[in-house]
Amino acid sequence: MKATEMLRDRFVSEQIEARGVRDPLVLAAMRTVPREQFVPEYLSHAAYEDSPLPIGAGQTISQPYIVAFMVEALLLRGGEKVLEIGAGSGYAAAVLAQIASQVFTIERIGQLAEMATANVAVAGCRNVHVRHADGTEGWADEAPFDAILVSAGAPDVPNSLMQQLTLGGRLVVPVGRNRHVQELVRIIRIEKDEFDREDLAGVRFVPLIGKEGWESEEA
């Protein structure tokens, strides 16, 4: 086993599994994806610290524990069609790609969409599809999805995303009226117009910018 693989394995055991993430599919995915490929080269030494890191354009790659916690909250069993909102550098999409059959990920910032496309290709994730667009409106052409993961904080749950879930589908999204402090929420589509909502944990994410999210601070 290479030194980086040993470091990643120990990190998953001590910082993710030890903190309560138990899903074997998620733990295996976290042990498989090389996080150092998804952070700037000058921060590669910090890839396995459990903290968010800057990736450019004022955005961050989420701390690994939060990625694992959110992916576990999607209740994946393998083979699903998943949508991610907020591709960033592509790390969460690569983790999802180890479990799901197809991952569709949207990034509103062009340079990050290009970065994510390149990173998932280098990581060999051929089942990840990256789109540069407003993620709050989802990806209607590919809907419905078995699960949707939102990697940015929304003021409310975007209705477009709820409508793009399959029956029984799960949406995990940080929601809060403060742009930088949210409650992580899981939405399950019970019937066509019936949804179950569960609060999971307090979190801090960058704002979800878009038509069904926050207005840009530059606007």
Please pick, among 13, 51, 62, 151, the residue that the annotation labels catalytic.
62
DSSP string, the chain: --HHHHHHHHHIIIIIITTT---HHHHHHHHHS-GGGGS-GGGGGGTTSSS-EEEETTEEEPPHHHHHHHHHHTT--SS-EEEEE--TTSHHHHHHHTTSSEEEEEESSHHHHHHHHHHHHHTT-TTEEEEES-GGG--GGG--EEEEEE-SBBSS--HHHHHTEEEEEEEEEEEEEETTEEEEEEEEEEETTEEEEEEEEEE---B-BSTTSBPPTT-
Find residue 187's DSSP bridge partners.
171, 197
Is the separation of the CB atoms in 55 and 88 below 8 Å? yes
Establish whether 216 is a catalytic residue. Answer: no
Residue numbers annotated as active site: 62
